Amino acid sequence: MLAALPITSLYLGLFLIMLMVLAIGVVRVRFGTNTSLGDGGHKSLQKAIRAHGNATEYVPIVMLGLALLELAGVGSTLLHVYGSLFLLARFSHAFGMQHPNEGNNFRKIGIVLTWLIMLCMGVQLVWGTF
């Protein structure tokens, strides 16, 4: 049991699993398109690469923010709100990236929710330093 940061550990574990699923998705499309490097001009591979890449761009910094808030003694309810909404946002974004169509707003919802969580956490971290 990771007692020092149990809430951050929970969400980081879930994000590690999600990142593995997205990475496996890239490899699966690579095999299907017989593309070893780059995207070979395949739209499906471009989407899979960006879904994985976008998650790797946002997850680490938000997890660091969650860990700092947890270390600062922020209540567990708010930490779970941040963690669960961020998880929902990243799933929504990844789904929207890989299944785009005109009626699909999952990607947009994922982006807006991600930024909103980052803004709230950032303000709380800055506010807590004064």
Give the residue extent of every domain in the chain.
6-127
Its CATH class, for the domain covering 6-127, is mainly alpha
Which of 37, 59, 31 has its CA nearest to residue 118? 59
Quick check: 22 pLDDT over 80? yes
8-22, 62-76, 85-99: range with lowest mean pLDDT: 85-99
Which of 56, 61, 45 has its CA nearest to residue 18? 56
Which of 107, 2, 28, 125 has its CA nearest to residue 68? 125
Quick check: 120 pLDDT over 60? yes
Quick check: 101 pLDDT over 90? no
Rounded average pLDDT over 7-26: 96
User: pTM score, two decimals?
Assistant: 0.90
Tokens representing 20 are 């593995």
Rounded average pLDDT over 73-91: 97
Using the structure block, give the residue that is written with the tokens 């961020």.
Answer: 86
* CB neighbour class for 83 (10 Å; exposed up to 12, middle 13-18, buried from 19): buried
Rounded average pLDDT over 40-63: 94
Where residue 30 falls among pLDDT bands split at 50, 70, 90?
very high
User: What pLDDT score does 99 carry?
Assistant: 79
Query: Which amino acid is located at 21 in the chain?
Result: V
User: What pLDDT score does 130 carry?
Assistant: 60
As a whole number of angstroms, the distance between CA 45 and CA 51 comes to: 10
Quick check: 103 pLDDT over 80? no
